[in-house]
Amino acid sequence: MTHPTGDEPASPPDPERVDPAVLTGLLGRYGWQRRGGAPGRYSRWTPPGGGAETSLLVPEAQAYEAGGVTSSRTSSRTGPGMSPSTSRGTGPAHAAATYADYGDLLGEALTALARSAHPSATAILRALAIPGDEIRWRRDIPHIGGAVPWTAAEHLRSAARAMLLAAARAALHPAGYFGERHRPQAGVLLEQVLVGPAPGGHLLTAYTPVPDGRPTATTLLRALQATRDAVDYQRATGSLDAFDAAIGLGVSHELARSLVKLVRGTEGATVALGWSPTAGPPAGFETRPEPVEFSPGDLPALEAAGLRYRDREPSVAVRLTGTVVRLRRPAPTGGGTVRLRVLAGAEVRQVRARLDPEAYRVAVHAHLVGLPIRVSGRLESRGGFRRLADASGLTPMHVDEAERDRLLKSLHGGADTFEDAGAGDP
């Protein structure tokens, strides 16, 4: 048998590590049809479209559970998946005999699946082998012999990455516009995401970890559904008001921009989620969520919503603790601008602040002796929450010698700390 073009042949997993209930759940997710079987013993499955080249016999989970702990396997059968003793046996002996064939039958099903030419077969085997919730992106774009332009494949991966980051940040704290907020925490999630092969450049599959509550996957699904509803409302009424209520469900400027990138240049795009087959669906969610689809006709609403979120996000009053990593002023005297590495008080990594002469002098002294400072102000949404406006109350903070030495080493390890006369944006 041949394998899907552009994909690596999949190896069947160890039957001892596969739960038949998980396998049948995945077969159903990918559109395989159940075509009878022997109740309580096995079920028969055929691929989508009614193809006859592959027919799987999957043992029932009850057969495994009834079999107890051990039983020798046998290769002779009087019927599919049945040893001679199972054709007439009943009671405990019948259960043990069923279990004897369990591993053989499941192994044959997995091998047949690995040899199947149907594209879904590889995805099913991969889902069995890789833990996590499955997220699939699909872009309907012109292709030649299954190949797509290089830039199209890059757009798909870039859009998927931006979408996951937006969902991870919204799971921490919903907002219409994040800018730089929560970026480091969301980046930690991406380090744990596994990506499956993408043979055609128009498909991408990712597997996210399954922590308690699965915040990223559940937030992404809610946000996509809310975005779909808000776009439909805007297209029907011309109003963007539905996007305001969608913020609490995880919709944001960043999510809208990721959808624009996903859809632009296509005839349509789809995002589908499949829950981890071992963990099952989270509480309150459907077992098989419907894919969420977007079309080029949705782009004006998505673009307008993205701008609305960015322009309406308010500034945030903060009191930051941070270390001075760069200083600049245009003249030998007077005030200047500093860049702070934020230690506490805001969900951003660095901010810039304009200081008066006295505050600037204190910041210079704190930098030279390796002390962090504390300062109040407003993080401006314009520019992505990177600028602290109306800075006031700047004071140095005292730390122990060990911490002071560590800060000095980290701060003085780089160049261009001072720029009293040079140009540039700190």
Q: Which DSSP letter does residue 353 get?
A: E
Given a cut of 80, is residue 192 above it in pLDDT? Answer: yes
Given a cut of 90, is residue 231 above it in pLDDT? Answer: yes
Comparing 296 with 346, which gets the higher pLDDT?
Answer: 296
The answer to whether the beta carbons of residues 132 and 276 sit under 8 Å apart is yes
The answer to whether the beta carbons of residues 223 and 250 sit under 8 Å apart is yes
> CA 366 to CA 360: how far, in whole Å?
10
CATH number of 316-419: 2.40.50.590
Q: Residue-wise over 264-296: b if at least 16 C-beta within 10 A, else e?
A: eebeebbbbbbbbbeeebbeebeeebeebbbee
- pLDDT for 17-76, tens place per residue? 777 878 888 888 788 888 877 777 778 888 887 655 667 888 876 444 444 433 333 333
What per-residue confidence (pLDDT) applies to 249?
A: 97
Any bridge partners for residue 79, and if so which? 82
What per-residue confidence (pLDDT) applies to 245?
A: 94
- Overall average pLDDT of the 345-362 stretch: 90
Contacts of 144 (CB under 8 A, 6+ apart): none
Confidence bin at 409 (pLDDT 50/70/90)? low
The answer to whether the beta carbons of residues 159 and 255 sit under 8 Å apart is no
Domain positions in the chain are 15-129, 133-312, 316-419
Given a cut of 50, is residue 423 above it in pLDDT? Answer: no
Mean pLDDT of the chain: 79
What per-residue confidence (pLDDT) applies to 370?
A: 82
The answer to whether the beta carbons of residues 197 and 206 sit under 8 Å apart is no
> CA 377 to CA 393: how far, in whole Å?
9
- Overall average pLDDT of the 188-200 stretch: 78
The percentage of residues in the chain with a pLDDT greater than 90, rounded to a whole number, is: 37
- Overall average pLDDT of the 256-279 stretch: 93
Given a cut of 60, is residue 2 above it in pLDDT? Answer: no
- pLDDT for 209-229, tens place per residue? 887 778 999 999 999 999 999
What per-residue confidence (pLDDT) applies to 194?
A: 84
The percentage of residues in the chain with a pLDDT greater than 70, rounded to a whole number, is: 79
Collapsing DSSP to helix, strand or coil, 333 comes out as coil
Collapsing DSSP to helix, strand or coil, 388 comes out as strand
Q: How many other C-beta atoms lie within 10 A of the C-beta of residue 252?
A: 27
